[in-house]
Amino acid sequence: MTEKKGHFDEDLDLRISPKLSEDLNTLFKPQFSVPPELDRAIMDQANRRLVQRHWRHRIFRHISFWRVAAAAAVIIFAFSLNLTQKPGPTTTSSFIVEAQAVDIDENGRVDILDAFKLARHVEFSERTEKKWDINGDGLVDRNDVDLVALAAVRLDKNKGVL
Amino acid sequence: MMKKITAIILMSISVIVPVLAQQSEQDNESVQPKVRFAPLRIYLDSGNKSLAAYQFELKAAAGQIKIVGVEGGQHKAFKEAPYYDPAALANDRIIIAAFNTGRELPTGRTRIATIHLQIIGEAEPDYELKLTVAADADAKEIPAEITFEKGE
């Protein structure tokens, strides 16, 4: 503490002697006189500039504050909506939709027997029909069988079976 | 000055409300109900007929469950995971089906699938199980009885 006081002496005497004051006045006294009108005009202009700058600063601060407030509110609102939440899994494959229409045994419903019958046709080289090419790849194969089977177990198609 | 105060109040509200909402959500989450996992084994009895294809539907009639996985059956003809809608996972209802075009098929009572469940809460769930269809190797419908056993 003592050392600190030594470096920053608050009781330092800032008064100058009248002799030094007189010498400084003589040294820096203007060599010409400034007309009071000019002096006043300079002061007026300076005042006007200061006032303008003050208002510009206030307006800018005001606008910035509202912008920041609005941006913060938007960000917080977006976070409160929990936009990162993802929807649950759904089966919206267009192939499944097509398979829904395939009723291989034509009994009015699509179930595992449609897939089973199609699989038998494919495996035992029985006759196949062009309409059984569910995925449209020009072949009636195991992929088409899988699509019919997936159509049979679809949840939304069979809603309320029980 | 008044506008400044209003803005500060609005900002404080917009900060505090979501924080409080999140906190209350966390509080709710901390009082979570008891959760356990259990398998449900599905059996099909086709008598003296060979079983080549089946389809059934399961749903919870009471209690809260979530289907978390599906496993194949006991006989090698149905060992592979059956067909089901992936949307059934994390749901309380599922339709399961499988077929086999081979000649080695099970007869009598056989386990056709195991459904792994997440059971939420203390209440023991009730299940509704319905056989949609069962068929033999010639793809002809056969009478069969479907049952389930709860596992631990």
Dihedral class, residue B28 (left if φ above 0, else alpha if ψ from -120 to 50, else beta): alpha
Statement: residue B124 has pLDDT above 90: no
**At which of A29, A59, A85 does a domain end?**
A85
- Given the DSSP bridges, would you call strands B126-135 and B109-120 parallel, antiparallel or unpaired? unpaired
- Indicate the average pLDDT of chain A: 76
More confident residue, A38 or B141: B141
- Judge whether A105 lies within some domain: yes
Are A123 and A145 part of one and the same domain? yes
* CA atoms of A153 and A96, how far apart (whole Å): 10
Are B28 and B42 part of one and the same domain? no
- Judge whether A4 lies within some domain: no
- Indicate the average pLDDT of chain B: 89
Statement: residue B118 has pLDDT above 90: yes
pLDDT band at A88 (very low <50, low <70, confident <90, very high): very low
Cβ contact B55–A73 (<8 Å)? no
Are B66 and B86 part of one and the same domain? yes
CB-CB neighbors (< 8 A) of B18 in chain A: 76, 79-80
Q: Which residue has the tokens 């006043």?
A: A40
Per-residue confidence (pLDDT) for residue B138, from 0 to 100: 93
Q: Which amino acid is at A118?
A: L
CB-CB neighbors (< 8 A) of B55 in chain A: 111-113, 152-153
What's the whole-model pTM score?
0.60
pLDDT band at A18 (very low <50, low <70, confident <90, very high): confident
B17, B55, B88 ranked by CB distance to A112: nearest: B55
Statement: residue A19 has pLDDT above 80: yes
Q: How far is B96 from chain A (nearest CA, A)?
A: 6
pLDDT tens digits, one per residue of A102-157: 788 888 888 999 999 999 999 887 677 888 888 889 888 999 999 999 999 999 86
- Judge whether A55 lies within some domain: yes
* CA atoms of A116 and B7, how far apart (whole Å): 69
pLDDT tens digits, one per residue of B69-90: 999 999 999 999 999 999 999 8
- Alpha carbon A158 to its chain's center: 40
CB-CB neighbors (< 8 A) of A77 in chain B: 14
* Number of domains forming the structure of chain B: 2
Q: How far is A132 from chain B (nearest CA, A)?
A: 18
* Number of domains forming the structure of chain A: 2
Are B42 and B55 part of one and the same domain? yes
Statement: residue A162 has pLDDT above 50: no
Are A119 and A80 part of one and the same domain? no
Per-residue confidence (pLDDT) for residue A160, from 0 to 100: 41
| Strands ordered across the beta sheet of B35-45 | B64-71, B109-120, B35-45, B145-150
Are A56 and A98 part of one and the same domain? no
Cβ contact B101–A111 (<8 Å)? no
More confident residue, B68 or B10: B68
- Given the DSSP bridges, would you call strands B64-71 and B145-150 parallel, antiparallel or unpaired? unpaired
Are A18 and A75 part of one and the same domain? yes
pLDDT band at A1 (very low <50, low <70, confident <90, very high): very low
Tell me which residue range forms the domain holding B64.
35-150
Statement: residue B146 has pLDDT above 90: yes
Chain B residue with the nearest C-alpha to that of A158: B95
CB of B118 within 8 A of CB of A120? no
Number of H helices, E strands in chain B: 1, 8
B90, B97, B130 ranked by CB distance to A153: nearest: B97
Are A65 and A102 part of one and the same domain? no
**At which of A67, A85, A103 does a domain end?**
A85
CATH number of the CATH domain containing B81? 2.60.40.680
Q: Name the DSSP class of B141.
A: B
Tell me which residue range forms the domain holding A102.
94-152
More confident residue, B15 or A162: B15
* CA atoms of B139 and A89, how far apart (whole Å): 32
Q: In chain A, pLDDT over 70 holds for what percent of residues?
A: 70
Question: What residues in chain B have their Cβ under 8 A from chain A's Cβ atoms?
Answer: 3-4, 7, 10-11, 14-15, 17-18, 21, 52-55, 57, 59, 83-91, 93-99, 101, 128, 130, 132-133, 135, 139, 141
B15, B95, B139 ranked by CB distance to A153: nearest: B95
B10, B52, B89 ranked by CB distance to A116: nearest: B52
pLDDT band at A81 (very low <50, low <70, confident <90, very high): low
Statement: residue A31 has pLDDT above 80: no
A65: number of Cβ within 10 Å: 15
Are A78 and A132 part of one and the same domain? no
- Judge whether A59 lies within some domain: yes
- Judge whether A159 lies within some domain: no
Total number of residues shown for chain B: 152
* CA atoms of A120 and B100, how far apart (whole Å): 9
* CA atoms of A110 and A92, how far apart (whole Å): 17
Per-residue confidence (pLDDT) for residue B33, from 0 to 100: 79
pLDDT tens digits, one per residue of A39-49: 888 889 888 88
